[in-house]
Amino acid sequence: MNSIMRMEDGDWQIWTPREELSPSYTRIESAEGLGLEIHGAGKHRCYGSWHSRNIRIKEYHSYVIQASYTCRNIGHEHVSIYAIATWMDAEGLLIQRDYLDRVDEHEALVSMRKMRRELESPSRAAYLRLELSFRWSGEGHVVWKDVSVQEHKETYRKAVRVVTTYARPTEDRATNLHLMLNLLDKAGQHHPDLVVLTETFYEGFVQLPLEERCQAIPGPLTKFVSEKARELRSYVLYTMYEREGTYIYNTAVLIDREGEIAGKYRKIHLPLYEAEMGVTPGDEHVVLTTDFGRVGILTCHDQEFPESARILALQGAEVICIPTIGNGLLQTRARARDNGLHVVVAGCGGGVSSSRIIAPSGELIGHVENEESGVFAADLDLNKRLYKYWLSVGPGNGEPRSLYLKERRPDTYGDLIDISSDGGGGS
């Protein structure tokens, strides 16, 4: 990669929105190189940055931008420390702003963090300015180091072909298995990377005690689905009632292209009727890595709770899949819009439209239209970055997916208070 800017090359200037809010700044020259320190100076609500000179760049070029830092006495790094790439036109007018939103620890020095991002410069971009910022921590210190901008030959992943499915399950497991395998055959005609099936399609509507409907994983149902996934050379996501020792879970299983179990997720939010059946909730949000990206899973009632979708986004999910019986159109569109992620829903309650694919904007890409065909396929570009004018960043373009994660205020959310244990219900 060709470096167009290093830390020592920058003509760094200090910035604060108002002098009353200014932290203190120090340039640290040492054998290890330049360090740029910001200190809260006892001002709890201080706010300030180091700004680089305007760096000449080219439009539609890919750049790797990174900045490392060490810090101390900061309660919430996520809130108090950030770095931004600001893109400007030839006249110096704002076009777009992007957080460096990937944060890694240096292997050699655990106390040092590295913010890094690969970005494509927008249309009309002529200059780039880096902003290394610190805010809202009176006693905290941050020292920025090893800042660089490098031209990069961009690598593209192909679009991901996802198929959602629809069929009405019956009260007979053999019939349901036939329907599942038939849906997978229909999905296979689209050469998918991922197929998503309805929640507990195999046994959910069967009128038998729960103990007679569940299976181990791996087990007979896993074997059938695995053989079909291997035949199609596709990932397949389905759910089932899983027996493990004493407990029975509503478990989503992801089978990979080789027919192997890539991972599983146990439904966390159980509706009352399911809990009263004897199903035990899971307690871990899961994001699974595939050869096309990172997949987060919510099952049915989970979609009602925005916290779970947000946790998946924070864990790096690039698409969220929701196998479900219920038809929560508003919720699924909101989960996509809240997090700037594609959402793939495979339902059965509410008719064929309950199996749909939603864009990161919350808009509907499409849904199953014919119950006989039972499938809907869409190509999703997980690399595509969507922008909205004046979203947070001022008179320029901001990226919802990045902004919604970086501008959270977990320092204000606190612990949930249980008011049910001390007479919160009235007299």
pLDDT band at residue 420 using 50, 70 and 90 as cut-offs = very low
Query: In the predicted model, what is the mean pLDDT of residues 232-257?
Result: 98
Domain positions in the chain: 2-156+387-413, 160-380
Is it the case that residue 18 has pLDDT exceeding 50?
Answer: yes
pLDDT in the model for residue 415: 58
Distances from the Cα of 74 to the Cα of 38, 80, 138, 409, angstroms: 12, 7, 9, 14
Secondary structure (DSSP) of 364-380: EEEE---TTT-EEEEEE
Question: Which one from 242, 267, 321, 348 is the annotated catalytic residue?
Answer: 267
341-370 pLDDT, tens digit per residue, is: 999 999 998 889 999 999 999 999 999 998
> Does residue 300 have an active-site annotation?
yes
Backbone angles phi, psi at 414, to 5 degrees: 65, -175
More confident site: 45 or 421: 45
Helices 329-339 and 306-314, packing angle to 10 deg:
30
Decide yes or no: CATH 3.60.110.10 for domain 160-380: yes
pLDDT of residue 31: 84
Q: Which CATH architecture has domain 2-156+387-413?
A: Sandwich (2.60)
The pLDDT assigned to 10 comes to 66
Residues 6+ apart with CB under 8 A from 1: 64, 150, 151, 152, 153
Strands 319-323 and 342-346, how do they pair?
parallel
Q: Summarize the chain as % helix, strand, coil (round to 5).
A: 20, 35, 40
Q: Over the stretch 28-68, which tens digit does the pLDDT of each residue have?
A: 998 888 999 999 988 889 999 999 999 999 999 999 999 99
Q: Is-catalytic flag, 321?
A: no
Kindly report, residue by residue over 106-153, the tens digit of the pLDDT.
554 557 899 999 999 999 999 999 999 999 998 999 999 999 999 988
- What's residue 1's pLDDT? 65
**Which stretches of 279-409 are DSSP H helices?**
306-314, 329-339, 400-406
What is the model's pLDDT at position 105?
65
Interatomic CA distance for residues 100 and 85, integer angstroms: 7
- pTM, to two decimals: 0.91
Instruction: Exactly one of 43, 46, 186, 199 is catalytic; name it.
Output: 199
Do domains 2-156+387-413 and 160-380 share one topology? The answer is no
Marked catalytic residue, from 300, 321, 348, 399: 300
- Using the predicted structure, report yes or no on whether residue 77 has a pLDDT greater than 50: yes
> Is the pLDDT reported for residue 423 higher than 50?
no
Q: How far apart are CA 275 and CA 249, in angstroms?
A: 10
> Is residue 419 exposed (0-12), middle (13-18) or buried (19+ Cβ within 10 Å)?
exposed
Catalytic residue status for 203: no
